[in-house]
Amino acid sequence: MSEPRHFIAGTELTRAELEAVVQRAVELKEIGADGPRPLAHRSVALLFEKPSTRTRVSFQVGISQLGGQVLLLRSEELQLARGESVRDTALVLSRYIDAIAVRVGEHALLEELARHSTVPVVNALTPLHHPCQALADMLTLRERFGRMEGLRVAYVGDGNNVCHSLMLLGARAGVEVVAATPAELRPDAAVVAAAQETARVVEDPAEAAAGAHALYTDVWVSMGDESESARRRELLAPYRLDAGLLARARDDAVVMHCLPAHPGEEITADLLYGERSAVWDQAENRLHAQKALMELLLP
């Protein structure tokens, strides 16, 4: 049996594969729901610990459109909640299903599951990476500008999992990502080092925004960070994405946000819902990008 192809950080894809997945996503978007059914007679488990709107719905709809069956598994309903090991869970699930998409609060759990799984494991969000979101972001940039290579994205706010994945997949695609974050909330140093050819970190959001094709932000208080919400809001107040910051970018720059959004906090309502917003395209593109990814992982 060949080794399964996992999608954990996004760097499992070569540059050529990333370009091919994005191109296939463009094609699948054009075809719509009546396209090919490569996942016919196949089953994909969604193992989720955390709440989800876009990730859950886009995976469920996408797998269904590809002809597959979805099993939604909540961790509290599995024997994991009663002490069964992640290894045993992986070994058993691998006998039943063809792939597992995982959304969990501990990245190490995802890595252990992938280590013992004999079917592909897809990272549907951990605190360290959110590569499916970044895949949809690359598709969105390709749609808006006709290319990925040579674009510049300014990310402003918390140096979190979304920032990490933007940097890593951006490096694969030739997209420069400049992250403006407070010193206390800088992205992981190892991630920055891995993407150093196209990524850098600054503290001044105006510096990051200068000449950017896209301005990107995320919530100030992510799931799991609620206990320090007041501190985060204080640190991130200067990093709000508003008209003044957008004015420093290119005239054709777009606004991006991975959602859910808090208008008036990390982004102003006029930008979120305005004519330069690519936010809703990003959300839709989760569906098409993940369909293309599943085709690659389950040929």
Q: CA geometry: angle at 285 spanning 100 and 198, to 5°? A: 90
Question: Rounded to an integer, what distance in angstroms lies between the CA atom of residue 142 and that of residue 151?
Answer: 10
| Alpha carbon 144 to chain centroid, angstroms | 18
For residue 188, the surrounding DSSP H or E stretch is none
Supply the residues annotated as catalytic.
103, 130, 133, 218, 258, 286
Question: Rounded to an integer, what distance in angstroms lies between the CA atom of residue 135 and that of residue 288?
Answer: 10
> Cis (ω within 30 of 0) for the bond into 38?
no
For residue 79, the surrounding DSSP H or E stretch is none
For residue 51, CA distances in Å to 57, 101, 102, 103, 108 come to 11, 14, 12, 9, 19
Q: How many residues are given for the chain? A: 299
Q: Which of 254, 16, 296, 8 is nearest to 132 (CA)?
A: 8
